[in-house]
Structure formats: C-alpha cells, structure tokens
Structure 1
C-alpha cells in the first residue's frame, strides 16, 4: 500500500498546473450513455475515479478509450450498444459517483440496475432525491440486494423541487430530463460549476437546457442526442489545495490553468487571513503577506465556502495567529482528519459540527493515516510545514482525485516522495 514521505520546511516557489476537474469529468462521462454517437472529452484528469468510471462504462458495453502520449488527457466514449445496463457493485464500491449513471441509463434504455454508491466515508449522501425525482418523471424504482432497479417506457417531464440542494441529484436528473417527453422544471438546484460544465456538454449534444448555474433549470426533452466534443473545467478543489499549499508554506506560487471565478469564497477568505493574492485571467498567484491571521469558515453550497476545502483550510488554521472556528454544514462526518492533525501537534477541539483551532501551533512530523480524499490533502499541507519527516499512509484516497500530486508539489520545491508506487505502474 502506497505511502507519502514528506519533510517539512520548504516554501513552495514556482508554477503549478491544475488538472481537469474529476467532479466534472465523471458526470460528463456518464452523459455519453445518452447517445449512440461518440463523445470526446478533453482535459480529463488521470485519477483512479476516472479509471473506475471507464471500467463501469465498458462493463455496460460501451467502447471507452483513454488517451496516451500527447492525448493522455482525452477520452473518447461510444455507447452504441448498452448490452448490460448494470452498475455492478464490484466496480463502483469505491466511488460515490456511481449514482450518476442511473438517470442516463433509464432515459436511454428504459431500464437500469445500479449498485448503491460507495466512496469516502464522510457522511451520508442520500440517493433518495434521485429516486424521488425519477419517480416523479414516471419511473418505477425498487431496491433489491443493495441495487436500485428502475424501469420505464419513457420518462415524462415533471416539476421537481429538490428538498435540499444536491449536486449529484441535480446532475443525474438533468441528464434524465434531456430525453424525457415534454418539459421538466427543476427548482432548488445545485449551482456548482460542475453542474454548469455538464450542462454545456449536454447542450453541445443537442439538449435544450436553460438556467444551468442558477437555482432553477428548465429542460425541454428531445427524442435523441448526438455526439460532441467538450473540454472539462479546471479542478477548482485542486487549485484551492495548491493555493493553501503556497500560503501555509510562506511561498510564492503561481497556480496556472485554473478558473479564478470558481474560487471566489476561498480567495476572499485567504485575503482575510493576510495572504497576498493576485488574480489573472486563468491563473492565481499566492504569496506570503507575513504572519497568517485566524478567520472563521462555515461550509455552504456553491458559491459559499466548499466542504471539499474544509480539511485543507483547517491545516492552514493551525498556522494562523488566533482562534479559528470551522463549521461543517454539508456532511456530518467530515472531521476525521482532526485526530491526525492533533497527532502532529495541532490544538483542535470538536463539538458537534464545529471545530475550534487555536494557533499558531508548531507541527511535528508523525506517522498519520489518510481517511478520505480531502483529509489526505490536509495532512499533506500539515506535513509541508511540520518539523521532520512525516509518513502518510493510505494515500490511495489521494489518487482518487488528485493527479500526480506528489510530482506537482515536488516540482515547486516540496520534499515529498511516494513509497511503493503502484499507481504509476498501472
């Protein structure tokens, strides 16, 4: 099992390039189910979840080619024949995004059998909103032995108001609605850039969608979609992680090939912490502005502070003067990184959904355990400023969503290496 070995103390200097967004790529790959034609996606990140999605689509009968060489960040998908519309548990057990194939499968084939999703153990991500929406569109859904089975002759347009904001629910039902008969009106939709990215692909495929990126989306169903070529958005969470890496190490780091507009809440918070930020068209420069200052955060749906940046910001807070409170409003079990940070010397207490961090605290190297994708990133950030050499175990969580993280960080001066590099040999 792979580990990271990180020696702290080096400021990060130079330019680091952001990869495509995993959380955009996965629904866009699922959208290829909606057409018999070829869908070409560019700026695909090379991470484990993408490989899992490839296996999933291939198991259903799709032809999926992941690029190599100069085209290594491109994939072509053709679902001319979906001979087995089943998302098998043995394939999707490590990936939450498996639910994203439910809507397109039933819209295209009238039948779907999808294993209940897996992924990071950060709390419940209920699929009931997917089920409720598809039932409103005329699907019959049952649960049997850990699988959801859905059937319909053809989905019908409906008026769907989400009980709570859900990114995957919005994406899944949006895909389903593109082939439904009549008009579908969605309210209380997720506004994340990943939803907008998916909608852009669907529109390029011939879908009629209005309002993506707002709380209300209107879809006029069509009989058939066609192939398209689409470039995936930059990964705003990877970009944010590198911004925090530059800030916590007191470096001078240029984050290139990103979308600054998607990072507004994080940029504003870093400036409150005393970090110098220069925003360009597709890059952000982060520089030390002196001692870091404490600033509270509360996670919210986009455009609020992202839950996927909470753990990394907590690492930064250990190095800020004063007391920081972090309130997690999205997931109920997303403080598993706290105990590992405490092992490194952090002063953190947790009460319910709120963590209190008292800084500035010198961190020491330690052997720590990665519990989920973003928790892993927070431990890397902490290790970058810890005294001595830290060992991070179970970094396969990192490989699910960050492309070659250790290589990118090493390129800007971090002392980080991988032990037992299985991933690079796949």
Structure 2
C-alpha cells in the first residue's frame, strides 16, 4: 500500500493541466448502453474509477477499447449479454448504480445491485426508483438488488431534492421511452448538462438541461457519436486551493469560472486573487494571512460538497473563525480529526464545523478517509512544518490522476512512497 509524503513547500508557481471530469465520464460511459453504435469519449481521465466501470460494462457485454494515447475510450454496446450489474463491482463504485436507467431504457429490464452506504453517508436511491416507477416500471428489491422491468412511458416527475444521480438515471431511461418526460427540481450540475449534451449528440430530444426543469421527448433509437469529457470542476477547485494555502501563482489549464463560481466567490472573499486567462484560470496569493469565510454546501450552483474538505484546509490558516456547514452528506467531516492531529483548531458539532485559524501546522502521520478528504490533508501538508505522511491514498487514485507530477511540477515537495509490509 502507498502513502503520499508532503513537506513544507514554499510558493507554488507554474501551470497545472486539469483532467476530464471523473463524474461526467462515468455517466457518459453508462450512456453507451443506450445505443447499438459505438460511443467514443475523448479527454478521459486515467483513474481507478474509470477502470472499475469498464469492468462492469464489459460484464454486460460492452466492448471497451483500451485507453489510447490522447485519452480516448471507445465503447460498443451492440450485443449486450447481460442486464445484471453484480454487487462485487457495484460495491466498489457507487456511480455503477447509474447503469440502471440506461439498461431498462434500452432493454426493458435491469437487475442492479444496491450500492450500500459509504464513508460520507448513506446516499439512498429512493428517488431513482420512484422516478422509474412513475414511468411505468415495476421495481422490486430482492436480495440486495433492484429488479426493474417495464415498457417505459413519459411521466411528470418532481424530486423532493435535486439529486444528481436520480436526475441522470431518469433522464437516460426517458430518452428511449414512449412520450414526454418532465423532470422537475432536476439537478443543475455541469456534469448533468454534459451528459444531456452527449445524449443529444446521440440523437436524444432533451431541453432544459442545466436548469431545474428538464424535458425529454422519447425517440426510437440513439446513434453513436464522439464526445469530449468536460473539465473536472472538483479537480480544478482542489488545485486552485493549493497556491491559496502555499502562496504563489498557478495557472489551471482548462479551468473555467462558470464551473466553480461559488468557490471563486469564497476565495476572493478570503483575499485570494483569481483571474481568467486564455488557457484557464490563474490563482494568486501574494502572501500574508487569508480572511476567514463561512461556507454552506449546496447543490450546484452552490458551494460543492466535494470541495468542503479542501476549503477547510484553507480556513485552518485563515485569520479569525469560519463556519463550514455540510448540508449534502452526513459524516463528511471525517478529515477534521486528521487536521486536528496536525495542530488545527476545529470543533465539529453535527453538520457544522467551526474552524479557528492557527499560526501554523505540524506535519504528522494522517489517514485518508475518503477521496476528497485525502487531498485536504495533502493541501494542509504544503504549509505544515516538517513531514506529512498521508496513508490510504488508494482513495486518491479514484478521483485524481498524476497528483505527485502535477504538484511537484509547480514546486511542491511531494512524493509517493511504498509503505513497508
């Protein structure tokens, strides 16, 4: 098992290329199930989650070409051999559950393992099931699997909460259904709009993606297409925080403010400079303490829950006290005790964390508890005295590619080491 070792690095300067969006890519890969013709994806990130979903799609009969130079992936679902998504794969990757909509939309049936809980909360699938039932599917839960069957027809669906996964599952199921489906209180995330854009390029009739109401008019079939995966807004936001903590000036290639507007607003409020460039976004922190700011996570375009841990790492060094409120997932302050081990002053009560800035942190052995938490510890280590050793970085490999190369390329002192034993 590997660890990441970070030492106090000084100012960061240079450029960091931002990869294709993990969450978008996984949903686009599932969309390949909707057509007999190949779907070609470009700008695919090289991540363990992509490999896991590849394994699942291959178990369903999808032919997946190896990731080629230029990060291109070709998926052909001409001859599906199964409509069962097995627990042994789904348990490794919650996004696997989103093959449910494409499978029942294409074949009229699907058997998909319930993904279960995870380190940051239960993340129930009730909305997914209710949406499919509204479209005429018969859904049963047996032995830990969702058994769905039916000839889908258009329906009006309103989610109690703007669930990204449920919006995307229902949208994929609706593109081949009879009639028109209206999804209200739909998720507005860039990932959801990017999925809709790809489906439209494949021949789907979708309006309103990126707003709270999506209208899907069913078509007879979808064809293949070539589609580029959008910039990963969570990776973008993560690396934006690095120079804010360590100081310096870094240009994030491929970055767009519209993807991380809420983060930009909070960072500027804290005194960090953000500039749009021809190639992306430049983040500059000329020195001195940052100002404390309060953050409440919310569905897009609000502050992303997936950037809350990284923002906490920044607030550890801020003047004054900041309040971070987590409204999306329970148990998403598991990184706080690890930051406290390094000398942070954090008080967690339920879904709220009060962070009082300190003069500095001390490096320590810490443990990654989930994907985003692992990077918050690396960020804190950029400014901590001594050595910070982050264990369990297999979490990191699920969502970030070439971390050591990207950070060392702008001056960070960081390496990946093999743990003894």
TM-score band w.r.t. shorter chain: over 0.9
Which residue pairs with 1:42 in the alignment? Answer: 42
Q: How many angstroms apart in 1 are the aligned matches of 2:117 and 2:222?
A: 30
Match of 2:165 among 165, 168, 181: 168
CA contact 1:41–1:231 (8 Å) conserved in 2: yes
Q: How many angstroms apart in 2 are the aligned matches of 1:199 and 1:315?
A: 34
CA contact 2:34–2:102 (8 Å) conserved in 1: yes
Q: How many angstroms apart in 1 are the aligned matches of 2:106 and 2:9?
A: 54
Alignment of 1:276-287 (within 5 A): 276-287=273-284
Q: How many angstroms apart in 1 are the aligned matches of 2:279 and 2:154?
A: 38
Q: How many angstroms apart in 1 are the aligned matches of 2:163 and 2:359?
A: 36
Which residue pairs with 2:31 in the alignment? Answer: 31
Which residue pairs with 2:15 in the alignment? Answer: 15
Q: For 1:364, what is the secondary structure of its paired residue?
A: coil
Which residue pairs with 1:179 in the alignment? Answer: 176
Q: For 2:215, what is the secondary structure of its paired residue?
A: strand
Which residue pairs with 1:107 in the alignment? Answer: 105
Which residue pairs with 1:193 in the alignment? Answer: 190
Q: How many angstroms apart in 2 are the aligned matches of 1:162 and 1:412?
A: 43
Which residue pairs with 1:386 in the alignment? Answer: 384
1:240 aligns to 2:241 (yes or no):
no
Q: How many angstroms apart in 2 are the aligned matches of 1:116 and 1:397?
A: 21
Q: For 1:229, what is the secondary structure of its paired residue?
A: strand
TM normalised by structure 2 equals: 0.97
CA contact 2:9–2:411 (8 Å) conserved in 1: no
| Cα deviation 1:93-130 (Å, max 9, x = unaligned) | 12110111000001111111111125741012110100
Note the C-alpha offset of 1:407: 1.4
Q: How many angstroms apart in 2 are the aligned matches of 1:177 and 1:114?
A: 18
Note the C-alpha offset of 1:282: 4.4
CA contact 2:256–2:276 (8 Å) conserved in 1: no
Note the C-alpha offset of 1:221: 0.1
Alignment of 1:10-409 (within 5 A): 10-68=10-68, 70-71=69-70, 73-117=71-115, 120-152=118-150, 154-289=151-286, 290-409=288-407
Q: How many angstroms apart in 2 are the aligned matches of 1:142 and 1:158?
A: 20
Distance 1:136 1:281, change over 3 A: farther
Note the C-alpha offset of 1:259: 2.2
Q: How many angstroms apart in 2 are the aligned matches of 1:372 and 1:253?
A: 26
Unaligned runs of 5+ in 2: none
Note the C-alpha offset of 1:65: 1.1
CA contact 1:183–1:219 (8 Å) conserved in 2: yes
Q: How many angstroms apart in 2 are the aligned matches of 1:101 and 1:92?
A: 10
Taking only aligned residues, the RMSD between alpha carbons, in angstroms, comes to 1.1
CA contact 1:94–1:118 (8 Å) conserved in 2: no
Q: How many angstroms apart in 1 are the aligned matches of 2:114 and 2:96?
A: 8
Runs of 4 or more off by more than 6 Å in structure 1? none
Q: For 2:65, what is the secondary structure of its paired residue?
A: strand
Distance 1:169 1:281, change over 3 A: farther
Q: For 1:254, what is the secondary structure of its paired residue?
A: strand
Q: How many angstroms apart in 1 are the aligned matches of 2:36 and 2:418?
A: 41
CA contact 1:60–1:83 (8 Å) conserved in 2: yes
